[in-house]
Structure 1
Amino acid sequence: MVAQEAPIKINCLTIPTYENVVSLYRNKESTQYFVQYEAPDGTPIDAAYWLSSPTFFKSEDFYVYAEKLQEHEKQLKQLNRHNENSSVTTLWGTSYEKCEYAVGVIFYRTPDHGGFYLSEQMNERVHYLYRNTSCWYEEDVEAFKIINSFPELFTDLEKANADIVLRNFFPFPYEKINNVSLSEGESFVKDREAFYYQHRNDWIGTFTSPIYGRSNVIRVEAALGGKKLKAHIKHFEVPLSEYLSRNRFGMIIDPKRHPEILEH
């Protein structure tokens, strides 16, 4: 644990102690917070950090996170990654840059998206439950399969993030590969499937619209079991406060309490 009275240096930047912060404000288009703080000699310094919230910056969790970033930067320097210009046809258009992690493991960047491409030989090293026969793995989710398959090419922070993503979005392969059983709250996809199975005979809200003249009530379009089939759609009145506190996977309609809005 890094002592809070000692600023942390990462890539020549210094993460200040919370006590030295003069102001903290957010870029409206992202989760980037701009921090102005005072150096030991009183000089004002501006810096930007990717934080989840100002509260996170104030908490000790931020310093734990900063310490992990510091170790991540050290490990990156030890990895043999090469960036160079590239013009290769990918699934997302023509690349402008590539990063070679190892022979046969290349990450391509395009103006719109990016991802890994593996040689056939390297693709065979990916567990069959994670393997894409196309050898392409897009950057948002699929790329974490590559981190899991070639741990020696990635930092501890990257591997920890991969475990989180694979557990949340590929729970069933994850359970088989790691010989574990994920409990409620450990996987987004598994929890979502359990929710829809549990409420397969309930009306689940899928869309909302205002009811003019009534600010505390909204119109909720609901589908039986959450499946948006035209024959299984109804509309209900739901208190706005109740809708705002709904389950993250959908609003469960109670026909006894939520009046149905009949179409004329």
Structure 2
Amino acid sequence: MNASLPHETLPDPTSGNPEVEYGRIADGFLAARVGETAFAMLPARRGGHYLASGWRLGRPIAEWHHADFYGHSGALADEAAFRSMVAENAEHQREKRALGRKDARFAANTPWGASQGATLYADGVICHSTAGHGGFHLSAESNRRVHTLLRSESGWYEEDAEWAIVAITFPQLSTRFERRCAERTIKDSWPDTWEAISSAILQAGESREKDRRALDHAHARDWVVVSAITSKHESGFVEVVATLGGKRGPGTEERRFLVPSAECHVGRFSFVINEARHRVYGGPSDFVAWR
């Protein structure tokens, strides 16, 4: 970290964006303010740092504290990565304002309950929020513009993943950040559809779902961890329950193994047992179901 920013706020000299303000919080960590959004580069539990976020911290940055931040937006390699992500958010906020989206209220019933608020992106493109969820509704005319392989006949697109379908269908209504996220979401969620539409084959690392399928195929006959707990009976080990191929459900054979704590880190999907290193365990268990 750069120790030259003790407890002062400074405009970012490189972003060209006066809305970005950098400084150090009372705990000494690098932070930034972009509009009403606050960011901090906080230490991660296993070393390194992560991007934390907060909202409407009206005080000067020097008076912010670690406890003011609650969001976790991914690991940070270094201070340059922090500044890059802050600059990306600033760009997103600028472009979002320029799009002129309008907040509104509509008496509408959505698949997730009564609409409690809405944002009008354009005629025929409305994003609704409800008490527990939300998503987009497209008019019949707008919905016809969605590719047939992605189209919802109802015209409703939920906010977790299907929002990306709306974003790539109407790129002029989205920021560059939203378009990048939308492409990533569709590749991760519907790789076969993406390949069919784009006529491009996704390679390893380009789709979470496709990578998961490849892992499942490669380890179909291996013991894959489905649950884990720090062992109170075997110091320095994690007690795990594993099944063949990571399958779950009634009738699935389960085995317990002991894995050294230093090794037991779940990767992108799961932890695969190495039977030459990780021994089958039949001793006292910390799992309630195995006691």
* Structure 1 and Structure 2 fold alike (TM over 0.5): yes
1:115 corresponds to: 135
Are 1:194 and 2:203 counterparts?
A: no
Distance 1:245 1:44, change over 3 A: closer
Q: In 2, distance between residues paired with 1:55 and 1:256?
A: 35
Are 1:103 and 2:112 counterparts?
A: no
2:21 corresponds to: 15
In the TM superposition, what is the alpha-carbon distance from 1:106 to its structure 2 partner? 0.8
> Normalising by the residue count of structure 2, what TM-score does the alignment of the two structures yield?
0.72
Are 1:145 and 2:153 counterparts?
A: no
1:244 partner SS: coil
In the TM superposition, what is the alpha-carbon distance from 1:125 to its structure 2 partner? 0.9
Are 1:5 and 2:13 counterparts?
A: yes
2:257–2:279: 8 Å Cα contact kept in structure 1?
A: yes
2:25–2:62: 8 Å Cα contact kept in structure 1?
A: no
Unaligned runs of 5+ in 1: none
Distance 1:249 1:6, change over 3 A: closer
- Higher helix content, 1 or 2: 1
1:31 corresponds to: 52
1:62 corresponds to: 82
AA aligned to 1:195 is: L
Q: In 1, distance between residues paired with 2:18 and 2:212?
A: 40
2:182 partner SS: helix
In the TM superposition, what is the alpha-carbon distance from 1:45 to its structure 2 partner? 6.5
1:191 partner SS: helix
AA aligned to 1:5 is: P
- Which of 61, 66, 75 is matched with 2:95 structurally? 75
What aligned pairs does 1:237-256 form with structure 2 within 5 A after superposition? 237-241=257-261, 243-256=263-276
1:213 corresponds to: 233
In the TM superposition, what is the alpha-carbon distance from 1:4 to its structure 2 partner? 4.9
- Which of 113, 130, 149 is matched with 2:150 structurally? 130
Q: In 2, distance between residues paired with 1:145 and 1:110?
A: 20
Q: In 1, distance between residues paired with 2:226 and 2:126?
A: 40
1:129 partner SS: coil
1:87–1:97: 8 Å Cα contact kept in structure 2?
A: no
Q: List per-residue Cα deviations over 1:149-192 (Å, max 9, x = no partner).
A: 11111111211111121122222211221222111112111111
Q: List per-residue Cα deviations over 1:75-115 (Å, max 9, x = no partner).
A: 22332422112332111111111111112111001121110
2:258 partner SS: strand
Q: In 1, distance between residues paired with 2:193 and 2:201?
A: 11
2:7 corresponds to: none
Distance 1:209 1:72, change over 3 A: closer
Provide the alpha-carbon RMSD of the alignment. Answer: 3.4
In the TM superposition, what is the alpha-carbon distance from 1:70 to its structure 2 partner? 3.4
In the TM superposition, what is the alpha-carbon distance from 1:146 to its structure 2 partner? 0.4
Q: In 1, distance between residues paired with 2:13 and 2:235?
A: 49
2:258–2:281: 8 Å Cα contact kept in structure 1?
A: no
Distance 1:15 1:172, change over 3 A: farther
Distance 1:228 1:68, change over 3 A: closer
Q: In 2, distance between residues paired with 1:44 and 1:243?
A: 39
2:115–2:129: 8 Å Cα contact kept in structure 1?
A: yes
Misfit runs of 4+, over 6 Å: 47-51
Q: In 2, distance between residues paired with 1:255 and 1:212?
A: 22
Q: In 2, distance between residues paired with 1:66 and 1:242?
A: 33
Distance 1:209 1:156, change over 3 A: closer
